[in-house]
Amino acid sequence: MLKNKKIYIALLFLLICGAFAVKIINKREIPVLNYHEIDDDKHTALALSTYEFKAQMRYLKDNNYNAITLDQLLDYMQEGKPLPEKPVVITLDDGYEDNYTNAYPILKQYGLTATIFLISHYINWPNYLTWKEIDTMKDNDIVFEGHTYDHPNLSQIKDDNELKKQLLDSKIALQEHLGYQIKYLAYPCGDYNQHVISQVKKYGYRAAFTVNLGDDAANDNLYTLNRVPIFQMYRHTFFKFWLNLHFPYLMRMIQQARS
């Protein structure tokens, strides 16, 4: 009797594992890569060297990835519109000037579209993109979206008027210059809470992105979308990029176990 029970438990376990595996295989997930600065002199985690950035973009091109826009991603997630094979989204946060001088020529060389999340108040500041640079990239396959007014931790803001400035006023300022509707937000430092999400919805964003490591699939919450943050490492930056691109959830588990 006990032996039978053990067999049933083992079978049930295998069945659950099988169902889980099928679910994972059937779930079409899309990686949204997240970069910040592309700079050879800074040597910080957020500043990827041009050599590394180029190696990663070349890898995407050589391995037949298709860079898609956030509109394509969301049309797929919400309406099931078909995507090209091996879709990937490339995003850069904050709008550093090196995105124009260093990243843009590489993206152009490999024919990859990308989205830059802009901090509206920092445009034209030293080390940040100018409107002229933004306009040039806008005409060449780079899309711009919102990253608040001046990059606060949104969950710390208690005043709804301040949240409005960060989420709506910045959105309007970008729209007035770019001439199209800003639909997507990247939370500064990936920071949000339920109230922030309610305001993001209220001010008309279609979706919002965190910095939680993972891919995005059709049934995911549109206001807590995952990304694959890429950091410059002391060593093995490309290998870490490759692991995060292919096994984001495994890497997330390792990341959580370490912290």
Residues of this chain that interact with Zn ion (CB under 5 A) are 93-94, 188
- Residue placing its CB nearer to Zn ion in the complex, 65 or 149: 149
Nearest residue to Zn ion on Cβ basis: 93
Nearest to 216 by CA among 70, 114, 20, 115: 70
Return the number of the residue (65 or 94) whose C-beta is nearest Zn ion: 94
Residues whose CB is less than 8 angstroms from the CB of residue 155 and which lie 6 or more positions away in sequence, other chains included: 191, 192, 193, 195, 196
31 vs 188, which CB is nearer to Zn ion? 188
Task: Say which amino acid occupies 144.
Answer: F
Q: State whether the Cα torsion 125-126-127-129 is positive or negative.
A: positive
- Find out whether 147 and 95 touch, Cβ atoms under 8 Å: yes
* Burial class (CB within 10 angstroms; exposed 0-12, middle 13-18, buried 19+) of 245: buried
Is there a contact between 119 and 150 (Cβ–Cβ < 8 Å)? yes
Closer residue to Zn ion (CB): 188 or 248: 188
Q: For the CB of residue 186, give the shortest distance to Zn ion in the complex, in Å.
A: 7
CB of 81 to Zn ion, least distance (A): 29
**CA 91 – CA 75 distance, rounded (Å):** 17
Closer residue to Zn ion in complex, CB, 63/153: 153
Taking Cα atoms as reference points, which of 164, 189, 182, 96 lies closest to residue 134? 96
Question: Whole-number minimum distance, CB 35 to Zn ion, in Å?
Answer: 11
In the complex, what is the shortest distance from the CB of residue 197 to Zn ion, in angstroms, rounded to a whole number? 18
Q: Minimum Å distance from CB 94 to Zn ion?
A: 4
